[in-house]
Structures are given as C-alpha cells and as structure tokens.
Structure 1
Amino acid sequence: MKKSSTTFLKLVIILIGLAVLTVCVTVLPMVAINLADNPTFVKWVMYPIIIGMYVSAIPFFYALYQAWRLLTYIDHNEAFSDLSVHALKIIKQCALTISGVYVLMMPLIYIFGEKDDAPGVILMGLVIIFASFVIAVFASVLQKVMKSALEIKTENDLTV
C-alpha cells in the first residue's frame, strides 16, 4: 500500500485530535466560566454535561491513538496481524463507551434543550450517539474481516 494514503490519514487523525483538544482546553472552560452567572438550574444541568464531554474525550483520544497504531501497522505491512485485530477491538470499545456516555447524558441534554429552547442541542447529542455507534459497528465488521483474513493467511502459511 502506498505510504502517502496512510500519511494523509495520519494527518487527518492529528487534525481531528487537535480540534477536539482545542474544544476541551478553550471552549468547555469558557462555557463553565460563563455558567457561573446563570441560575442554579442551568448549572445543575450543564456541569454534568461538561463533565460528560470531558469523560468522553478520554476514550476518543485513546481510539485516535489506536487508529494511529493501525495505520502504522499498515505501513509496516502488518495489516493482517493480531495487533490490528486488537486495535480494532479497542476502537470498537471506545466508540461504544462514547455512545454510552452520551446516552447517559441525553436526559440532561434534553432538559437543557427544552429549557433553553434549543432543539439543535438535542439533535447534536443524537448525532454523536449515532456516529459513535456506527463507528463501533464498522470497527466490529472490520475486526471480523481481519480475523478471518488472518486465519486464512495462517492456514496458507502452514500449507506451504
């Protein structure tokens, strides 16, 4: 495989990671500071949402790291190895964790969306849940395909 395609994907991983890190370092603290002047009801709803966003960032960055490792395996012609299957398994678990965190936060997001009259917030929460679930399913399918290919490769190596 051409190294340029994996280099492009590694660049995309870096840019996505920097974007999420910027949100975690600048945007979320500003929102928390601005909440200090709001009524307690809004604080009661928003602080757990902000904490949930920080909690979901941990598996997100770990999944990005595993995607980086997977691309490195591809660069070293180790795409069909146990390491790749394991990386896909971890990506799947991270995506399911993110989806689960947002499912748990959804009632609070709904309360905030109703109180602030912002149905787009509810839609954004649903999009994050759906997107991370789709990534988990895709990683699961890819993991099964890689595992099957690894078994076929092992059989062929033993036959020769």
Structure 2
Amino acid sequence: MFHASEVFEFARAIEENGRAFYQAMGTNARQPELRQLFARLSQEEEQHILDFTRLAARATPYDPPESYPGEYAEYMQALVDNSVFPRELDPETLAQQITTDQEAINLAIQFEKDSLLFFNGLKNLVSVTETAMIEELLRQERRHLCELHSVLQKK
C-alpha cells in the first residue's frame, strides 16, 4: 500500500520552500510591485501548507495501479528530488544568489511549473472528494504561473 499522507508531506515541504523563497525574494526585489507580488505569493503558499496538512490528516492508504511495485512512489520521489528546491537546497540561500529581478521571476516560474507537475500527480493518490481540493490548488498554481509570466513579459 502506498501512503498518500507521505506524499502530502512532500507537498508541504515544497510549499514551505516556496514560501521561504518568496519571502526572501520579496525582501530582495528591487521593484515595489515585485516585492508586493512575492509577498502575496508567500502568503498563498502558507495557505497551501495548511491545505496539505488537512489533506494529509484525512488521507488513507491507497494502492495505485502500477506496472511494478513501488512505481508510483518512485515517480513522486523523482519529482521531489528534481524540483527547483531539492531537499539539500536552502531557498533563502538560493534567493541571495539571484542578482536580478528577471532571474528571480524565471526561478519562480520554474518553481510553479515543478509544483504543477507534482500536484497533478497527487490527483491520482486521493479520493474523489479530495480531488476537488487538489484541483483548486492546481488552479492557484496556474494563476501564479500566469502572473509571473505576465510580469516577465513586461520586462
């Protein structure tokens, strides 16, 4: 049995890294509108952390269809390990290495894309009632991506 609650812990860690990154970028951004955007994104990541905490508490063991035992767990682990924020990378240290607002936006876009890919995989691990919550999180992450892309296009 695969324990979806473990994956929700990964999801929480991704969001915690995103929150820390956006907080650091908000502090370091040169343009006031970018500081505001990063501050708001940080707050929204905080809400996502709470959402995943609730989902983890309700999650039940699940046996996803696999072509070999452990396939889905390996897939989700690979997504986590190859994300913008691997476990060994401190998002605040990364934010300090960024020298331009454009660099920050590009990294934020990559973070949102990685999140979308991971959260889309989560949909296969939850009940139909929990899928709606994952869909809402995906909608919010897509909005983040669109906002960041829009800011990048204005540069």
Indicate whether the TM-score tops 0.5.
Answer: no
TM-score scaled by structure 2? 0.43
> Is the helix fraction higher in 1 or 2?
1
Q: Which has the larger radius of gyration?
A: 1
Bigger relative contact order, structure 1 or 2 (CA pairs below 8 A, ≥6 apart): 2
